[in-house]
């Protein structure tokens, strides 16, 4: 099984880069001031950056430790690694080439 943390950090880095690029595109664009849809107004670069930051904080909480030769999550009542929380965070990226189907939420 590939490293789920490496995968998630890479996807969050990409999301942050997309948010920064979008912020540059939207800067002083009259379309986003006057004609943007509610969806476009809701999903701003600022929101995307906040979501990336929140997900990074979640990743910081979840680490693995070896117990009886089986990795366990130190935050989720010692559930099997990767824990359900990390698996759920991979859902938006399930179509990515580096996604491991073993991470699917069961």
Residue-wise pLDDT tens digits, 19-69 = 998 888 777 777 776 677 777 777 888 999 999 999 999 999 998 887 677
Considering the entire predicted model, what is its pTM? 0.83
H helices present in 1-106, as ranges: 4-26, 30-34, 38-42, 45-61, 84-89
Euclidean distance between CA atoms 41 and 21, whole angstroms: 16
From start to end of 1-106, where are the E strands? 64-67, 70-73
SS3 5: helix
Sign of the C-alpha dihedral, residues 103, 75, 67, 12?
Answer: positive
How many residues are given for the chain? 106
Sketch the domain layout of the chain as residue ranges: 4-103
Is the predicted pLDDT of residue 2 greater than 60, yes or no? no
């Amino acid at each position: 099984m590939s490293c789920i943390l490496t995968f998630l950090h890479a996807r969050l880095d990409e999301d942050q880069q997309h948010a920064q690029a979008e912020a540059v595109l939207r800067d002083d664009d009259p379309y986003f001031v006057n004609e943007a849809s509610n969806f476009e107004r809701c999903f701003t670069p600022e929101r995307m950056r906040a979501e990336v930051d929140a997900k990074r904080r979640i990743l910081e909480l979840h680490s693995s430790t070896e117990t009886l030769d089986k990795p366990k999550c130190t935050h989720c009542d010692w559930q099997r690694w990767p824990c359900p929380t990390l698996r759920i965070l991979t859902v938006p990226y399930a179509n990515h080439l580096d996604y491991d189907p073993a991470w699917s939420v069961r």
